[in-house]
Amino acid sequence: MVDGIANVPGTFQTGSTPTITVDLKHSFATGPLMTSRTINESNPATSHSKSISQDIHWDYPKDLLSGLETWTMNPVTNYPAYTVTVISGYVASKTTVGLLTPTSPTNTKPTDEATENITYVEAQAGEWDIKIEYIDIFTDLGVKHVKIGAISKMEDGEYEFFIVCPVEDTFYFHVRAVEPE
């Protein structure tokens, strides 16, 4: 049936090739979908776990005639970057879980992202004494020793940590280093 017409009017003769134009109406179904990225942290100092769920909502119209689905984020967003909890005396498996922006719109049905599991190992005492020389243009050279309590091992095998300037608490240093021998 085409637009309510059960029969196509006309006379057709043997040996002729008539052209029949059929205008198909597209019909759509819509529906919501939610995908998630989960970040799990296990705090070895307190034995507590924390699970962070980041969600993205999707809408899709499905063309019931062609079967084509177009998935679109609603609202357009991303899985935001997450800064891993710093636990004094422990090294995290990573310092951040990066920003992730799924493709939208897409004709492939979105799925949940892989779960990120953050693990911690105890930092070795005394290995991370760092001598920092601060040059203060008004008071000359100042030398400070800083102990690092929160260190994160990066995927490339180096370590990353932040040092708050002991001279002025208004800024900090971001440091990458290789493992001490």
Examine the domain organization and report whether 32 and 116 are in the same domain: yes
Nearest to 129 by CA among 72, 81, 180: 180
pLDDT of residue 161: 61
Examine the domain organization and report whether 143 and 116 are in the same domain: no
pLDDT of residue 58: 94
Q: Do the domain assignments include residue 15?
A: no
With vertex at residue 27, the alpha carbon angle to CA 25 and CA 30, rounded to the nearest 5 degrees, is: 160
The pTM for the full model equals 0.56
Q: Do the domain assignments include residue 75?
A: yes
Q: Report the C-alpha gap between 150 and 94 in whole angstroms.
A: 11
pLDDT of residue 43: 85
Give residue 14's identity as a one-letter amino acid code: T
Residue 45 in 3-state DSSP?
coil
pLDDT of residue 117: 93
- pLDDT means over runs of 10, the chain (181 residues): 58 76 80 93 86 94 86 91 84 86 92 91 58 53 50 61 53 53 53
What domain range is 149 assigned to?
123-177
pLDDT of residue 1: 40
With vertex at residue 92, the alpha carbon angle to CA 90 and CA 93, rounded to the nearest 5 degrees, is: 145
